[in-house]
């Protein structure tokens, strides 16, 4: 998608002509390689970006294309997000086992197993659907769907990001969208971003031409909230954002931002909505930081502190189990 957009802006130059050319390369990250452990126990978002950023800083590549929801809110020195493409629909979707008649979470029989690798989804859905069970599921999209459809598999349904299904041509598998307030989505879900070296002026100029500023402002606000709450990818923080753009040449609009933090058991939930007129990316970020403070004041910090204690305990238990089985 990014490559096609760049080539549309800069078609391959004729022989002898000057102009930028583009090629792609692919690399597996730690998050791709470790498909056995639950994401909750593996750590923060750098799991998906660390190896890529080494290649960027060493000049092996000039741009990194990320799902922005997987990118840490604090980047390594010398790196920055320079471009944000127009966001796909950020909601999560329900995908039921092939051949089953269920059309919604409400239709699933009591005790049905729903697969997801996200503690955010589990925490919120436990709150709204206490009769369902939730089980971790890892692997790429094809692998997850194969696990779902296996006749002897445990899953009645999966919850997946709608954007990923649509981008990979699997939108026909979507049974129903799970929109807020049923399920608030992950920070920056549905958006692709481009990371570059800070000193690469040419790459920066290219990225700015691809940037959808409305998406950028909404994602900056969401990421500022996440950064202030100090939450990685495996914490139950959900968001929803909307930017009502004002008519005229100047960039401005009313930004409405909702954030929530939910305890892992689904029994404690903190939610707050904030809105303001914003006229710059910096003002959008400040709104996100303000939302984080409001959430913390209402109990979100205690929820996240308890989750960190629980994670540390479970990591120690997992390490002991590994040593015992070695």
Q: Which residues are catalytic?
A: 70
**Nearest 5°: CA angle at 216, between 50 and 84?**
50
**Six token digits for residue 23:** 């090629």
Instruction: For residue 102, give every residue at least 6 positions away whose Cβ sits within 8 Å of its Cβ, in sequence order, or none.
Output: 96, 108, 156, 157, 175
Strand partners, 212: none
Name the strands in the sheet holding 237-245, side by side, starting at the edge strand that comes first in the sequence.
237-245, 253-262, 269-278
Instruction: For residue 179, give every residue at least 6 positions away whose Cβ sits within 8 Å of its Cβ, in sequence order, or none.
Output: 91
Label residue 138 exposed, middle or buried (CB < 10 Å: 0-12, 13-18, 19+): middle
CA distance 119 to 204: 35
Q: DSSP states of 197-242 as a string?
A: ETT-HHHHHHHHHH--HHHHHHHHHHHHHHHHHT--TTS-EEEEEE
**Nearest 5°: CA angle at 160, between 154 and 162?**
150
SS percent in the chain: helix, strand, coil, step 5: 40, 20, 40
The counts of H helices and E strands in the chain are 11, 11
Phi-psi group of 12: left, alpha or beta (phi > 0 → left; psi -120 to 50 → alpha; rest → beta): beta
Longest dimension (CA), the chain: 68
CA distance 275 to 45: 28
**Six token digits for residue 12:** 């391959």
178 with 105: CB under 8 angstroms? yes
């Amino acid at each position: 998608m990014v490559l096609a957009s760049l080539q549309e802006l800069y078609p391959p130059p004729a022989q002898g002509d000057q102009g930028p050319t583009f090629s792609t390369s692919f690399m597996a990250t730690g998050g791709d390689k470790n498909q056995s452990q639950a994401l909750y126990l593996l750590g923060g978002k750098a799991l998906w970006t660390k190896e890529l950023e080494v290649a960027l800083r060493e000049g092996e590549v000039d741009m990194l294309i990320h799902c922005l929801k997987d990118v840490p809110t604090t980047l390594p020195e010398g790196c920055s997000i320079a471009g944000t493409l127009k966001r796909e629909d950020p909601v999560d979707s329900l995908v039921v086992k092939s051949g089953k008649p269920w059309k919604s979470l409400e239709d699933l029989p009591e005790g049905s197993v729903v697969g997801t690798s996200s503690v955010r989804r589990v925490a919120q859905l436990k709150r709204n659907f206490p009769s369902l069970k939730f089980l971790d599921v890892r692997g790429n999209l094809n692998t997850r769907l194969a696990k779902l459809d296996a006749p002897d598999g445990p899953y009645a349904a999966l919850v997946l990001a709608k954007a990923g299904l649509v981008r990979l041509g699997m939108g026909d598998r979507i049974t129903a969208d799970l929109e807020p307030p049923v399920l608030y989505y992950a920070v920056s879900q549905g958006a692709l971003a481009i990371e570059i070296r800070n000193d690469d002026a040419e790459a920066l100029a290219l990225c700015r031409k691809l940037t959808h500023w409305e998406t950028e402002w909404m994602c900056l606000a969401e990421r500022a909230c996440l950064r202030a709450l100090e939450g990685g990818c495996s914490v139950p923080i959900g968001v929803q954002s909307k930017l009502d753009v004002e008519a005229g040449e100047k960039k401005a609009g009313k930004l409405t931002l909702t954030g929530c933090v939910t305890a892992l058991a689904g029994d404690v939930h903190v939610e707050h909505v904030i809105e303001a007129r914003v006229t710059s990316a910096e003002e959008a970020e400040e709104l996100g930081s303000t939302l984080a403070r409001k959430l913390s004041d209402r109990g979100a910090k205690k929820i996240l502190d308890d989750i960190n204690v629980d994670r540390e305990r479970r990591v120690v238990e997992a390490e002991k189990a590994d040593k015992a089985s070695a």
